[in-house]
Structure 1
């Protein structure tokens, strides 16, 4: 084995060890986050009738989560960089778990909207915080796979959460509580408990990882520090970059489109399936099917993106899959054949995340990365407010989800076109001269 091969094998060994120790904990945390975020879609099967919440108010409430999320996101990520990921991510998990459980006290439309707003503010910072945290541990040639593996938690949470949530709904009447109230309690409180565990299990940086040998610890930290210096020398690391670079606007829109399609489908999928004549339990089981395919999409697109060092075509292809799936599902609304197209859409939705999140770190580092990743995520997640609100309004006005699905397909197709135009050969170039290490960098 040559020295270069030996060096690569040693690097792979170290990163594999970090992956095995960190990813299961991050994965479980995000599964819990997403279950707590979208379990309102299953609660709605009973809660809306019990509380007199109509489709438009429900769609607005499902999306208002992201208004709270929007305003708390950037401050949350900047605090994380200052106080450390371990403490701040644990704080986020504990608070959102408690607020999710407190949904048991919702009495009507106003309290429903208020609690969804608070839940969004509490969860703000978790996803971009973990994305930032992974840049502390994995260099760019590994990131699409890491982000892909982490993002698989989303379809996995829906595949797990769908049958779990509909099963909990069957507890209706136990101890005088409605089934949807048990849903919030039994899926919220465990998240807070896991947040306490998280505080003791996750190190902030490689240099803090006692489970790595000292030589491996130093090597891993030096590799990441060198990459950080290289990005900073080319692009700088000031906060201004996160708010003024035109690439930020393009990435925010692409993520807006993908997230809007994702949550526009997730919040209404149980109701779409139930409208075909399925029972609550059957709706929950069929809801899991697209997300099983989404899990495969996240892993496959992440591998392809890293294997061929390509972000542009893998991302655009994933977005086109989503668009075709949404349009096909709209055309077949009312038929279980729509599940096949929803599965195609899910492959694209979660396949897009791996190449997408490898893009910001190509020109952001330090404080710019902390703020930039949060900006992209919070603006992008406004799609989670806009899309469910529009789909809910369309459903109320037309009595069908068909036009809403067409809207989602068109939105994400626009994101695919934006990807082709923006993520070009100049994407990773410096946009203005930087002075670093005594030299002028172009």
Structure 2
């Protein structure tokens, strides 16, 4: 075959593979995206409920911070077992189970009357949701090779800012307009109504999702064979260690520390953004909800643009580091903003855009070299340990706010954790390991 003929054949092969993966993407990625939107909303809507809940139940900022964060303690202990069960039992049944149980527990938060009840329900909610996100990341490794997976993870995690774009105004509307209806406070309606979509989606997942490529009867056999051959070829280049080897890997524990720093920033935004806006002088719940759209909308654009650029260049480290630096600068700006609403909003926009972009870019690092059971355990271990920052961040911020009557010291601490995390990537994650 001539050189021109070879080039044409290569282009046709790329076009054909693109069409196959496009069909796979449209088959289940929109569903997983909606599930992630609902999951993140149910996880952080307590940040909006806080605006009314604390006064109604006479909770302190420290109580709120501890209760918001203890979710991640339950999450930590059950994350690895959950992901191993998903790997063994299949994503369809396990993700459906996760969604139904967390919906019931999240709705039950509406009946909290004491700090102890709040702590217990948040802890159990963490147990129920354990394995959801790392399970989705693991599921993507069954369908997409590394050069396509970064974009898919970014698309999936776009559910984070979208949940803020949709959830902020909706949460504000529910709390303002439904307060007192049926003898329920606005924050109680919030927990009940925002839990309902997860029940429906759990059933949809059970009947719609395919566990593996071989189960996808909607794809012709030759297309299933093509996808599986690409996944198998990539698997041969990965480390397929045992669960024990994963737990003793220095690289895996370094990734845990890196994610910990990013998550410190992520949940500072998720749990405290309404409080920061309120502290700048805005008191109406609906207005606060509408203003939260700005940081999340900016974050959505940023993560899509950066995700595409990362896949096109196949560079992974700086696509995590630069957003972390941007986020750190945003938190510092919030600390200096005082009662200036627009300066606070600019700082939150930088902070949200940075941490929300860094999170999907981070997941290209471990999935570049972990495979098999090692990937199931490793992804879960990294996510669960890193997400302990979801406990440390709100608990520490709440304690410091109670102690100092200001968020400033907490915001500087969050910015510092992001910078340390970025330095760990540059010094401990060589480009040859993760740039694939």
Q: Distance in 2 between matches of 1:267 and 1:251?
A: 24
Report if aligned partners of 2:28, 2:209 keep a CA contact under 8 Å in 1: yes
Say yes or no: does 1:177 pair with 2:184: yes
**300, 319, 323: which is aligned to 1:318?**
323
Q: For residue 389 of structure 1, what is the aligned residue in structure 2?
A: 395
Superimposed CA distance per residue, residues 158-183 of structure 1 (whole angstroms, 9 cap, x where no aligned partner): 11111111111120111111111111
Q: Could you list the runs of 5+ residues in structure 1 that have no partner in the other structure?
A: 430-442
Pairing of 1:104-115 with structure 2 (within 5 A): 104-115=110-121
Q: For residue 296 of structure 1, what is the aligned residue in structure 2?
A: 301
Further displaced range: 342-351 or 363-372 = 342-351
**161, 165, 179: which is aligned to 1:159?**
165
Query: Following TM superposition, by how much is the alpha carbon of 1:328 offset from its aligned partner in structure 2, in angstroms?
Result: 1.1
Q: Distance in 1 between matches of 2:307 and 2:245?
A: 27
**407, 416, 432: which is aligned to 2:422?**
416
Query: Following TM superposition, by how much is the alpha carbon of 1:426 offset from its aligned partner in structure 2, in angstroms?
Result: 4.8
Q: For residue 269 of structure 1, what is the aligned residue in structure 2?
A: 273
Say yes or no: does 1:134 pair with 2:124: no
Say yes or no: does 1:227 pair with 2:234: yes
Q: Distance in 1 between matches of 2:279 and 2:144?
A: 45
Say yes or no: does 1:331 pair with 2:333: no
Q: For residue 214 of structure 1, what is the aligned residue in structure 2?
A: 221
Q: For residue 255 of structure 1, what is the aligned residue in structure 2?
A: 259
Q: Distance in 2 between matches of 1:291 and 1:250?
A: 29
Q: Distance in 2 between matches of 1:319 and 1:275?
A: 24
**72, 78, 83: which is aligned to 1:72?**
78
Report if aligned partners of 1:301, 1:354 keep a CA contact under 8 Å in 2: no
Q: Distance in 1 between matches of 2:433 and 2:12?
A: 32
Query: Following TM superposition, by how much is the alpha carbon of 1:3 offset from its aligned partner in structure 2, in angstroms?
Result: 1.9
**42, 60, 63: which is aligned to 1:57?**
63
Q: Distance in 1 between matches of 2:353 and 2:181?
A: 38
Query: Following TM superposition, by how much is the alpha carbon of 1:272 offset from its aligned partner in structure 2, in angstroms?
Result: 1.4
Superimposed CA distance per residue, residues 287-341 of structure 1 (whole angstroms, 9 cap, x where no aligned partner): 1211111111211111111111101111111111111111111111322111112
Query: Following TM superposition, by how much is the alpha carbon of 1:190 offset from its aligned partner in structure 2, in angstroms?
Result: 2.0
Q: Distance in 2 between matches of 1:139 and 1:9?
A: 16
Please, what TM-score do these two structures have when normalized by structure 2? 0.95
Query: Following TM superposition, by how much is the alpha carbon of 1:347 offset from its aligned partner in structure 2, in angstroms?
Result: 1.5
Q: Could you list the runs of 5+ residues in structure 2 that have no partner in the other structure?
A: 1-6
Further displaced range: 419-428 or 100-109 = 419-428
Query: Following TM superposition, by how much is the alpha carbon of 1:7 offset from its aligned partner in structure 2, in angstroms?
Result: 1.4
Report if aligned partners of 1:136, 1:205 keep a CA contact under 8 Å in 2: yes
Query: Following TM superposition, by how much is the alpha carbon of 1:74 offset from its aligned partner in structure 2, in angstroms?
Result: 0.3
Q: Distance in 2 between matches of 1:428 and 1:179?
A: 47
Query: Following TM superposition, by how much is the alpha carbon of 1:362 offset from its aligned partner in structure 2, in angstroms?
Result: 2.0
Q: Distance in 2 between matches of 1:399 and 1:428?
A: 43
User: Residues 9 and 241 (structure 1 numbering): CA distance in 2 closer, same or farther, change over 3 Å?
Assistant: farther
> May I ask how many residue pairs the two structures share in their alignment?
426
Report if aligned partners of 1:333, 1:401 keep a CA contact under 8 Å in 2: no
Q: For residue 367 of structure 2, what is the aligned residue in structure 1?
A: 361
Q: Distance in 1 between matches of 2:323 and 2:263?
A: 13
Report if aligned partners of 2:173, 2:285 keep a CA contact under 8 Å in 1: no
- Which structure 1 residue ranges, 4+ long, deviate > 4 Å from structure 2? none
Report if aligned partners of 1:173, 1:179 keep a CA contact under 8 Å in 2: yes
